[in-house]
Amino acid sequence: AQSVTQLDSQVPVFEEAPVELRCNYSSSVSVYLFWYVQYPNQGLQLLLKYLSGSTLVKGINGFEAEFNKSQTSFHLRKPSVHISDTAEYFCAVRTTDSWGKLQFGAGTQVVVTP
Amino acid sequence: DVKVTQSSRYLVKRTGEKVFLECVQDMDHENMFWYRQDPGLGLRLIYFSYDVKMKEKGDIPEGYSVSREKKERFSLILESASTNQTSMYLCASRTGGGGSPLHFGNGTRLTVT
């Protein structure tokens, strides 16, 4: 079975500063990787996903993530955050040989202050 | 855009009550899921369904059951609600494709007193 670890439960950051959210996974087989965002009082929405190909993946709202197979990581980055990026971010993984069960990390709360 | 609608935003129920949480999606997705979300634990899968009348247990099915009589509707049932089932419940759907993402509803915050 696969597992996902988000290394930071909360990340405070100033507006216009860069942010990196760390995600590591473990799996004995190949995986698909996802980042979701949850704004206050809403469900989750997809930020970006890695299925195959280029290891640098660009998503919505200026976010990007890099898949590193040797380090089994999928860290999320944004070069300059806005107040509106305040949200909880979830990393998720599923193996390519399963039909659809996603394993989620515990989440990272990003708080952007002026 | 895919729309996943959960019938209630907030629910307050008493211990021992039977509780129904309803979820409807409008994009003809084959797969539907119920998760619960608790602080510090992320999302945990309760049950999922890959077709009408089909259901599979997720990671934490105890105390829950589900029903999928129509493709667009997936119901979560708490047979006898308990206080440890106080949580945020999220419904999601996706197509059957390998890398297709989940589409989530806005959640139902259930409080059991």
**CA A110 vs CA A41, A82, A93, B61: distances in Å:** 15, 11, 20, 30
Chain A / chain B CB contacts < 8 angstroms:
56
Q: Does B112 touch chain A (CB under 8 A)?
A: no
Nearest to A23 by CA among A92, A111, A87: A92
- What per-residue confidence (pLDDT) applies to B12? 97
pLDDT by 10-residue block (mean), chain A, 114 residues: 90 97 91 94 93 93 95 96 97 78 92 96
Chain A residues in contact with B94 by the CB 8 A cut-off are 100
Chain B residues in contact with A43 by the CB 8 A cut-off are 4, 90, 92, 104-107
pLDDT surpasses 80 at B113: yes
- What per-residue confidence (pLDDT) applies to A99? 61
- What per-residue confidence (pLDDT) applies to A30? 85
List CB contacts of B64: < 8 A, sequence separation 6 or more.
B34, B46, B47, B76, B77, B78, B79
Measure in Å the smallest separation between the Cα of B81 and chain A Cα atoms: 23
Nearest to B23 by CA among B36, B32, B14: B32
Give the 3-state secondary structure of residue B60. Answer: coil
pLDDT, tens only, B71-91: 999 999 999 999 999 999 999
Dist CA A65 CA A43 (whole Å): 21
Q: Cβ separation of A107 and B90 shorter than 8 Å?
A: no
Dist CA A60 CA A46 (whole Å): 8
pLDDT, tens only, B3-46: 999 989 999 999 999 999 999 999 999 999 999 999 888 999 99
Q: Which whole number is the average pLDDT over B107-112?
A: 96
Q: Cβ separation of B90 and A96 shorter than 8 Å?
A: no
A62's tokens: 């200026």
Give the 3-state secondary structure of residue A1. Answer: coil
pLDDT, tens only, B35-60: 999 988 899 999 999 989 899 999 99
Per the document, the length of chain A is 114
- What per-residue confidence (pLDDT) applies to B100? 85
For B42, the closest of A99, A100, A106 (CB atoms) is A106
Q: Cβ separation of A100 and B94 shorter than 8 Å?
A: yes
For B101, the closest of A46, A104, A105 (CB atoms) is A46
- What per-residue confidence (pLDDT) applies to B99? 79
Query: A57 near A40, Cβ under 8 Å?
Result: no
